Amino acid sequence: MTVPLDPTKLAGYGRLALTARQVVEGFLSGLHQSPYKGYSVEFAEHRQYAPGDEIRHIDWRVLGKTDRYFVKEYEEETNLQAHLLVDASGSMGYGAPTKFAYASQAAAALSYLMLRQLDQVGLWVHDHAIRAALPPSAASKHWLRLAQMLEATQPGGETKLAPLWHELCRRLRRRGLVAIFSDGFDRIDDLVLALRAFRHAGHEVIFFHVLAPEEIAFPFRRLTQFRSLERDDRKLVDPLQLRDDYLRQFGAFCERLRTEAGEMQIDFHRLRTDEPIDRALGHYLADRQRRTR
């Protein structure tokens, strides 16, 4: 399901933009600080502590060694580069709203938040290949371009996430934040390797696991022919026969993904398409807020 855009509405931001902005504004109305700190992860040098510096920037190791207070300085202290990877493969086309539409909303909301903080946000829409890309930027119209790109994309194509993520990992020069919006329906071993690559490259990774409630609960009862959204593949199954195995396999997949992500210190968050986007993101953002205090 695509989110219809109406550029004339509300300063031309479109519904996606509007929704995303509403989400973020709503969040921000209750919070005063972005959960995303304005510093890059790249260390530049030490300088002597001056009153007013944030205590958390004090390098305690140096203090222990020298008994003097120094703070760490970073290259671009206030500009975060965030890369949003939105999976637009065929499987993301399932549901009403589609997982892609939901992921697009979430991605747009998140990018709006970051852009408000003057962080640079890039967008990569992909299936087994990059379908659309927007390099990171903090420009004022950047967000609109980002939303339009998302709106213009229709999910389809096969899922081959891992090779593409490896490729993207090589392309991203600066360490930054990588937010992945995907259902992860790929070989999990390959996915884990790809995520590990992001982590090795120094990126902070957030994995938004976008799923439809039907994929989670598998509520089907009647004889059903499941037709693949990515390939010419059909299976006629009795869902009642299949359900236990499906839930076990799916649960195991999700659990492994969560566990591996946890081990790699990747923020793993499930987004259900039947949950209001503002609530889903709001929960996540609030949770992140608490963790980063």
Partner 1 sequence: MMSLGFLNAALLAGLAGLAIPPIIHFFNRRRHDVVPWGAMQFLEVSSARRRKFFLEELLLLAARMTVVALLVFCLATPFMQGSLADRWFRPSRDVIYVLDRSASMGRRLDDGSPWTQAVEKIKAELADLKTGDRVGLVFASEPLETAAPLGSDPDEIVRLLEAHPTPSGGCDGAAAAERAWEHLRQHGRQPDQEIVLATDLQSFGWFDAAAMTRWRRFGERLKSAEGATPRFRWLSVKPADGSDAPANVALQPIVPSRRLAAAGQNVAFAADVMRYGTAIGTVAVAFEVDGERRGEAKIALPAAGARTEVRFEHRFERSGLHRIALVLTNHKDALAADDRQDLIFEVLPELPILLVDAERSPSAASSTYFLSKAFSEPGEKNCTSAVAGVRTTADRLTPELLLPRSGDRPRVVVLSDVPELGRESAKAVETFVAEGGGLLLLVGPRMVQARDKWEALRSEGLGWIPIRIAGSVSIPAAESAKVRLDPATFVHPALALFKGQPNSSIATALHRSWAKLAPEGGATAAQFANRDSWLISHAFGKGRVLASALPMDSGWDGVLAKAWEFPVLAHELVFALADVRSDAFNLAPGQAIVVGEERIPVGAVPMLHVPGGAARPWPTLGKAGTFAAPGPAGIYRLSLGGGGDLPIVVRAEPRESLLTYADDNDVIRLEEAVPARWSGRDASGATSPPHEIWLAFLLGFLALLVFESWMTRRMVRARTAG
Q: Which of 25, 79, 109 is nearest to 277 (CA)?
A: 109
Tell the residue number behind the tokens 């339009």, with chain if given: 148
Q: Mask: binding to partner 1, 94-133, rule CB under 8 A, as x and -?
A: x----x----------------------------------
**Nearest distance from C-beta of residue 153 to partner 1, angstroms:** 16
In the complex with partner 1, the residue whose CB is nearer, 74 or 218, is: 218
Q: Are 161 and 191 spatial neighbours (Cβ–Cβ below 8 Å)? A: yes
The 8 Å CB, 24+ separation contacts for 243-248 are 243/218, 246/218, 247/218
In the complex with partner 1, the residue whose CB is nearer, 115 or 271, is: 271
Distance of CA 145 to the CA centre of its chain: 18
Among 253, 256, 274, 288, binds partner 1 (CB under 8 A): 253
Q: Are 121 and 111 spatial neighbours (Cβ–Cβ below 8 Å)? A: yes
Q: How many amino acids of this chain bind partner 1 (CB under 8 A)?
A: 39
Residues 6+ apart with CB under 8 A from 285: 27, 31, 35, 113
Q: Mask: binding to partner 1, 150-189, rule CB under 8 A, as x and -?
A: ---------------------------------x-x----
Q: Mask: binding to partner 1, 187-226, rule CB under 8 A, as x and -?
A: -------------------------x--x--x-xxxxxxx
In the complex with partner 1, the residue whose CB is nearer, 34 or 91, is: 91
Among 37, 76, 246, 258, binds partner 1 (CB under 8 A): 246
Helix (H) or strand (E) holding 130: strand 130-137
In the complex with partner 1, the residue whose CB is nearer, 99 or 174, is: 99
Among 49, 69, 74, 250, binds partner 1 (CB under 8 A): 250
In the complex with partner 1, the residue whose CB is nearer, 53 or 214, is: 214
Q: Are 111 and 145 spatial neighbours (Cβ–Cβ below 8 Å)? A: no
**Nearest distance from C-beta of residue 155 to partner 1, angstroms:** 9
In the complex with partner 1, the residue whose CB is nearer, 33 or 249, is: 249
Rule CB under 8 A: is residue 292 a binding residue for partner 1? no
In the complex with partner 1, the residue whose CB is nearer, 15 or 258, is: 258
DSSP string, 28-84: HHH-SS-SS-S--S-EEEEEE--TTS-GGGB-HHHHHHHSS-EEEEETTTT--EEEE
19-56: b (≥16 Cβ within 10 Å) or e: bbbebbebbbeeeeebbbbebbbeeeeeeebeeeeeee
Among 108-116, 120-128, 241-249, 261-269, the segment contacting partner 1 (CB under 8 A): 241-249
Among 42, 238, 255, 287, binds partner 1 (CB under 8 A): 238
**Nearest distance from C-beta of residue 79 to partner 1, angstroms:** 36
154-187: b (≥16 Cβ within 10 Å) or e: ebbbebbbbebbeebbeebebbbbbbbbbbbbbe
Q: Interface with partner 1 by CB under 8 A: which residues? A: 90-94, 99, 183, 185, 212, 215, 218, 220-231, 233, 235-238, 240-247, 249-250, 253
